[in-house]
């Protein structure tokens, strides 16, 4: 195995690790919410991540422009509201189910970008949207009681929409400003708003339950700081198709870990809905370009 192939292989392993860590975040969040409030959990998570990123990249934060600061705050607003909807919604929904519903944000992105930049999505995006709706119908339909769409489902889909807005704004502003500076600012913005909400709600206390504190720190260090940093580093050494497929495994890992560690119960219909949503995610992320590459260059499959 030559150096380039070795780097690509290690990068893919790195992305699998990132997807696994992000998937584990749903379990850690569910565990934490049994002892602390959603805003307290977010305050711990983002404060830890903001402090670590600020210390590591403090030199990059010198002399940042007013425009960069504004862009980072806007991105941070979508990051905060997305996680707020996710954490509040997680109180009313299975962690494994939420991992798949949250992942539908990748299907929403092209349509939000269409609204903002007037760039029409291609046929794969429309197909992915149709597949997603079919999967959502199966995931939220209970044949014993009929259509069941509760507060957790609604908040999680709102979370997915806000994450899609976050992705679009990052894509727009990262081309004009330093991505590292934007990352530090958005994490800091989310931390400050979360802390302010905790103070306003009167939830400030030094007697934070150990399970909530440990899970919050885990989310801040591994699922936020190290995961975002790791993705940025390793994705330089692999192609976008590989990265898209591997990162989509976040929802799969999230569901599997929820079943194993939390005892989430999935019906056959719900499981089928998850598979269909995953198919929609793959369609939106890759447009099945890896199959086209195999057909055109069968001798270069290892490079895909």
Q: Which of 191-195, 261-265, 292-296 has the lowest mean pLDDT?
A: 292-296
Structure tokens at 294: 């195999």
Query: For residue 301, is pLDDT > 50?
Result: no
Q: What is the mean pLDDT of residues 26-38?
A: 95
Query: Which pLDDT tens digit goes with each residue over 272-286?
Result: 888 998 998 888 878
CB-CB contact of 92 with 155 (8 Å): yes
CB under 8 Å to 180, separation ≥6 — which residues?
57, 60
Residue 28 predicted with pLDDT over 80: yes
Q: What is the pTM of this model?
A: 0.86
What CA–CA distance (Å, rounded) separates 283 from 248?
11
300 pLDDT band (50/70/90 cuts)?
very low
Percent of the chain residues past pLDDT 70, beyond the cut: 89
For residue range 35-85, list pLDDT tens digits in order: 999 999 999 999 999 999 999 999 989 889 999 999 999 999 999 999 999
Alpha-carbon span 72 to 187, nearest angstrom? 9
Q: Which of 117, 113, 156 is nearest to 284 (CA)?
A: 113
Kindly report the average pLDDT of the chain as a whole number: 86
**Coil, strand or helix at 142:** strand
| Structure token pair of residue 26 | 């749903």
Give the H or E element holding residue 287. Answer: none
């Amino acid at each position: 195995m030559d150096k380039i192939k070795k780097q690509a292989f290690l990068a893919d392993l790195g992305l699998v690790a990132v997807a696994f860590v992000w998937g584990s975040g749903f379990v850690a969040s569910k565990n934490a919410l049994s002892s602390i409030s959603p805003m307290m959990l977010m305050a711990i998570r983002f404060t830890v991540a903001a402090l670590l990123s600020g210390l590591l990249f403090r030199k990059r934060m010198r002399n940042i422009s007013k425009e960069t600061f504004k862009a980072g705050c806007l991105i941070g607003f979508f990051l905060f509201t997305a996680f707020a909807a996710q954490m509040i919604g997680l109180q009313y929904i299975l962690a494994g189910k939420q991992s798949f519903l949250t992942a539908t944000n990748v299907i929403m992105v092209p349509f939000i970008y269409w609204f903002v930049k007037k760039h029409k999505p291609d046929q794969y995006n429309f197909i992915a949207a149709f597949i997603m709706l079919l999967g959502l119908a199966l995931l939220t339909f209970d044949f014993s009681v009929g259509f069941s769409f509760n507060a957790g489902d609604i908040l999680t889909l709102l979370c997915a929409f806000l994450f899609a807005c976050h992705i679009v704004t990052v894509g727009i502003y990262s081309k004009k400003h330093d991505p590292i500076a934007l990352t530090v600012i958005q994490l800091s913005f989310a931390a400050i708003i979360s802390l302010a909400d905790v103070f306003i709600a009167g939830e400030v206390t030094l007697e934070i339950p150990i399970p909530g504190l440990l899970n919050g720190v885990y989310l801040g260090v591994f699922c936020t700081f190290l995961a975002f940093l790791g993705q940025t580093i390793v994705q330089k050494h692999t192609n976008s198709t590989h990265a898209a497929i591997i990162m989509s495994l976040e929802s799969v890992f999230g569901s599997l870990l929820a079943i194993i560690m939390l005892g989430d119960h999935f019906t056959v219909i719900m499981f089928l809905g998850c598979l269909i949503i995953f198919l929609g995610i793959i369609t939106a992320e890759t447009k099945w370009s890896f199959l086209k590459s195999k057909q055109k260059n069968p001798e270069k499959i290892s490079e895909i």
